Amino acid sequence: MNVEIDSARLQFEIDHLASISENPPPVVTRVLFSEADLRARKFVQGLCRDLALSLREDAVGNLFARWEGSQKLPPVATGSHIDAIPNAGKYDGVVGVLGAIEAIRALQRAGFRPQRSIELIVFTAEEPTRFGIGCVGSRLLSGVLPPGKAATLRDRAGKSLEAWRKGAGYDGQLDSVPLAANTYAAFIELHIEQGPVLEKENLSIGVVEKIAAPSTLRMQLTGVGGHAGAVLMPERRDALTAGAEIALAVETAARTSGSPDTVGTTGVFQIQPGAVNSVPFAALLEIDVRDTQITTRDATLEKIEAAAAEICDRRGVRLEQERLNVDPPAACDAGLVQSIAEVCRKTGATYRKMISRAYHDSLFMAQICPTAMIFIPCRGGISHRPDEFASPEGIAAGVQVLAGVLATAASRSAR
């Protein structure tokens, strides 16, 4: 079978999707259920319809596009996300969605007939921008996020997931979202590496064996505001300076965890009222802590929480802290890892096995089916920035490997 990737067409689609953004180019911002996110979903659905895939959307907006196989067996799934954090680039998630569509198109052009159905999944809200936790769609599908708990998710303005999804036209029951065990025979996600390893080593493909463990803390600090001229320093109960000390404690805890893989980031720091002549009376912090090892990640979280309590106590600032998510790492399926490596060898793609420091919907799909990821290089390892870049050739190499792995998995009649 001669599977040829149409790189020019795929690049055109990537560029077009990037133009559907809340900000002017080159910035891509597509926050969950924004007007841009809803338009982007329509664009992807149109591409799926052109391939005669059958479409289904669930109550949280996960999209399933199926190429029907000749046998009634659990399908092979692939996919990723098209939501994008504020000030993002074109490739994060998108390569795994549009790349999967091109893989299916290329297999169709080559005359391939799947025995197992091949299903593309476009996951809702892989990015945590709206609700503070990432992978809302795959958490729900996998049962990691119970529907009752999902219904309580709120954005920073207090608007609920329920209100957001219903406003976007998704008004089914959240209870219907979790998938039964054995729904899928396999899940394979194509993604940019978002790190420097493949480029540095001049390799085409990363075969992911493990995904690092993410976690998120949210801290609401309430101090006492007042006139910047009139409130003297001994009287200050400044929420911003308490938050600033906490942000430094995050950095110290991550740097001194004993694990080179611990990373800590205070990515959200909002103050009120935000006026130059007013003492900040409130601060909201969202803190991201990750590690490949759960023990050092958890110890770091505890250190940060204890430091925050001590800092706020000392400064007379009220602290409410919440763990939004604390997830274990995921191991990829050894059989799928081997299958990706075999396809690389057959197609002549250079590869190495690696870990993913970023999280992905695969972290949660791995809980319900054999899962693995195919990484491709991105320039300078840069991601979550408008200058994120993956070359058309690099993307085509990843899509070629994805097509090969999907074809192999969809041809296996035994589970």
Residues that bind ligand GLV (CB under 6 A): 127, 134, 358-359
Structure tokens at 239: 């929420």
Residue 92 to residues 44, 95, 102, 299, Cα–Cα distance (Å): 15, 7, 16, 30
Cβ at position 132, least distance to ligand GLV in Å: 12
* Tokens, residue 167: 């406003």
Stretch that binds Mn ion, among 47-55, 84-92, 249-257, 343-351 (CB under 5 A): 84-92
Separation CA 75–CA 118 (nearest Å): 6
Q: Which is nearer to ligand GLV, 98 or 312 (CB)?
A: 98
Nearest Cα to 198, choosing from 403, 8, 374?
374
Q: What is the DSSP string of 81-98?
A: E--EEEEE-S-TTHHHHH
In the complex with ligand GLV, which residue's Cβ is closer, 134 or 206?
134
Least spacing, CB of residue 96 vs ligand GLV, in Å? 12
* H or E segment to which residue 372 belongs: strand 371-376
Q: Kindly state the smallest distance separating residue 189's Cβ from Mn ion, in Å.
A: 9
Cα–Cα distance for residue pair 79/84, rounded to 1 Å: 15
359 binds, among Mn ion, ligand GLV, none (CB under 5 to 8 A by kind): ligand GLV
Between the CA of residue 47 and those of 195, 212, 401, 405, what are the distances in Å? 29, 33, 21, 22
Residue given tokens 């590869």 in the structure block: 351
CB-wise, 28 or 140, nearer to Mn ion? 28
Place of tokens 């219907």: 176
- Assigned token pair, 42: 């329509």
Q: DSSP of 295-321, one letter per residue?
A: HHHHHHHHHHHHHHHHHHHHHT-EEEE
Binding-site member from 69, 75, 89, 93 for Mn ion (CB under 5 A): 93
> Which residue has the closest beta carbon to Mn ion?
93
Is residue 383 within 8 A of residue 390, CB to CB? The reply is no
> Residue 65: which of Mn ion, ligand GLV, none does it interact with, CB under 5 to 8 A by kind?
none
Least gap, CB of 288 to ligand GLV (angstroms): 7
By beta-carbon proximity to ligand GLV, the closer residue of 84 and 242 is 84
Closest approach, Cβ 127 to ligand GLV, in A, equals 6
Compute the distance between CA of residue 155 and CA of residue 127 in angstroms, rounded to an integer: 13
Chain positions 3 to 22 lying near Mn ion, rule: CB under 5 A, are none
Residue 99 contact, options ligand GLV, Mn ion, none, Cβ 5-8 Å cut-off depending on partner type = none
Between 93 and 206, name the residue whose CB sits nearer to Mn ion: 93
Stretch that binds Mn ion, among 54-62, 92-100, 158-166, 343-351 (CB under 5 A): 92-100
Nearer of residues 127 and 305 to ligand GLV, judged by Cβ: 127
Is 191 or 315 the residue whose CB approaches Mn ion more closely?
A: 191
Q: Which does 48 bind (CB under 5 to 8 A by kind): Mn ion, ligand GLV, none?
A: none
Euclidean distance between CA atoms 179 and 233, whole angstroms: 56
In angstroms, give the least distance from the CB of 52 to ligand GLV: 32
Residue nearer to ligand GLV on the CB measure, 127 or 291: 127
Please enumerate in sequence order all residues whose Cβ is within 8 A of that of 338, keeping only pairs 6 or more positions apart, or say none: none
Beta strands 63-67; 54-57: pairing state: antiparallel
92 binds Mn ion (CB under 5 A): yes
Q: Which does 264 bind (CB under 5 to 8 A by kind): ligand GLV, Mn ion, none?
A: none
Give min distance, CB of 62 to Mn ion, in A.
15
Closest contact distance (angstroms) between CB of 358 and ligand GLV is 3
CA–CA separation, 2 vs 71, rounded Å? 23
What is the 8-class DSSP label of residue 160? B
Cα–Cα distance for residue pair 23/4, rounded to 1 Å? 34
Residue 195 contact, options Mn ion, ligand GLV, none, Cβ 5-8 Å cut-off depending on partner type: none
User: Which listed option, ligand GLV, Mn ion, none, makes contact with residue 281 (CB within 5 to 8 Å by class)?
Assistant: none
> Structure tokens of 158?
């207090």
How far apart are CB 373 and ligand GLV at their closest, in Å?
A: 12
- Output the smallest distance, CB 367 to ligand GLV, in A: 17
* Closest residue to ligand GLV using C-beta atoms: 358
Helix (H, G, I), strand (E, B) or coil at 401: helix
State the residues that interact with Mn ion by CB under 5 A: 92-93
